[in-house]
Amino acid sequence: MALVTLKQLVNDAFQGGYAVGSFNVVNMETLQGALQAAEENKSPIILAVAEVHMGLIDLEQYAPIILRAAERASVPVAVHLDHGQAFSSFVKALRWGFTSVMFDGSTLAYEENAAKTKEIVRLAHTVGASVEAELGHVTGGEGDPSPGVADPTLFTDPGEAQQFVQETGVDALAVAVGSVHGIYKGTPELDIPRLARIRDLAGVPLVLHGGSGLSDDDFRQAIANGIAKINVYTDMSQAAMAKIRTAQTLPANTDFGQFMLTVVETIKEAVAEKMRIFGSVGKAG
């Protein structure tokens, strides 16, 4: 009975001065690794399924497994649709029982983003699920490995953020303040004064997408200034791939199932490391 809404998790984090990690689930290994890390570290967690990853797993078959795992977990778990754009994705996610959805209208003009976000809020809130939206645009595609840099002209405007939250009723807002999806080319620099201003005006927990390349101190500063949810995929994926590359040196009769347990372990460690940085360890109670 540990399935909870995103709103509950991020409001607690926002008030408690830590952030909850949102980890993209793309198969059984990522599900198991992420959940084991949460349970062993008594940390709340968000298990996210990105719309762009839907080709990797058959969610009609897989969504009930994720939900069941969340319900049975000893820590609070939100199950979240990441970067939803198609209306069908929202309807399906809510029917499956996801407790949260993100509508990504960040490439749309303000008016259209606000109007569509409002529609999704109405839909999701009807069944008690939470909604995250994005204002400003975090560049780089989810699952796109090519390195990128942040574009300051797409950063979130604090005044617009205030208006957007009031107009749409979103529970959490993803902001563009200097991070990018995937691998950062060079060293990212977060616009912390802008983030603080957004927090003061928007008044809802803020979300950081694209944390790869950020230092521990960057994360701490972001959390101290309103970030209560941080999305992680690239670092987890890269840790798993590094482990998988070591398989080349193993004997040919190595058991596949046994080896994959070591990949789960690697994912668990990568997730746990983020939980320590985000300050969510021990916050499950």
Q: Which is nearer to Zn ion, 121 or 232 (CB)?
A: 232
- Member of 7, 53, 209, 274 binding Zn ion (CB under 5 A): 209
**Which pair of tokens denotes residue 197?**
């201003």
Segment interacting with Zn ion, rule: CB under 5 A, options 20-28, 41-49, 206-214, 251-259: 206-214
Whether the CB-CB separation of 198 and 142 falls below 8 Å is answered with: no
| CA-to-CA separations, 225 to 16, 115, 184, 203, in angstroms, rounded | 12, 28, 22, 11
Which of 82, 104, 157, 218 is labelled catalytic? 82
Q: Which is nearer to Zn ion, 108 or 281 (CB)?
A: 108
CB of 181 to Zn ion, least distance (A): 5
Distance CA 279, CA 269 (A): 15
CB of 40 to Zn ion, least distance (A): 26
Q: Which is nearer to Zn ion, 209 or 283 (CB)?
A: 209
Known active-site residue 144: no
Count the site residues for Zn ion by CB under 5 A.
Answer: 1
**Which pair of tokens denotes residue 233?**
């995929």
Binding mask 163-202 for Zn ion (x = CB under 5 A): ----------------------------------------
Distance CA 218, CA 134 (A): 20
Residues 78-137 that bind Zn ion (CB under 5 A): none
Q: Which is nearer to Zn ion, 199 or 229 (CB)?
A: 229
Segment interacting with Zn ion, rule: CB under 5 A, options 5-13, 18-26, 207-215, 259-267: 207-215
CB of 83 to Zn ion, least distance (A): 6
Q: Which is nearer to Zn ion, 116 or 209 (CB)?
A: 209
Instruction: Point out the residues that are catalytic.
Output: 82
Contact footprint for Zn ion (CB under 5 A): 209
